[in-house]
Amino acid sequence: MIPLDPKRPSKLDPPDPYLAGAAFLAWLSKQGQEADLSDCLDKWHLHNRNRPTKELVGVGLDDFIKYLGPELIIKGRRHYGEIVKLTPRGVDWAAEWAIKYKVQRWHHGTQIPRKY
């Protein structure tokens, strides 16, 4: 894995999550940066089916988490079960990739730029 530059918080640092991964990360960010593992698995399969990316064909959620690394996303446990969580560094990083792939999920109070 290519190491992240600690002085630069994101700006399209590697690794590239590709389209399906960016859509999943945008969903995870919108959930409050963490979600139950079962919900994440459902969304992971949905995003891979709806936004197929040749680089992620056959890649499971566990492999995707390992690919991104613990600096960006972790799989952990809470008292109610397993979760997937973006790290503080991963939140900014995921937002940049979601914008690049145009899959960001805007907050209801955010003004969306319109093209006339």
| pLDDT, tens only, 79-113 | 889 999 999 999 999 999 999 998 887 765 555 55
What confidence score (pLDDT) does residue 4 get? 46
Q: Is the pTM of this model over 0.75?
A: yes
| Residue 102 CB burial class (10 angstroms; 0-12, 13-18, ≥19) | exposed
Structure tokens at 75: 């799989």
6 against 42, higher pLDDT: 42
- Tens-digit pLDDT profile for residues 27-80: 999 999 999 999 999 999 887 777 778 888 889 999 999 999 999 999 999 888
Q: DSSP assignment of 50-100, as one string?
A: HS--GGGTT--HHHHHHHH-TTTEEEEEETTEEEEEE-HHHHHHHHHHHHH
Q: Strand 73-78 relative to strand 34-36: parallel, antiparallel, unpaired? A: unpaired
- Tens-digit pLDDT profile for residues 12-28: 788 999 989 999 999 99
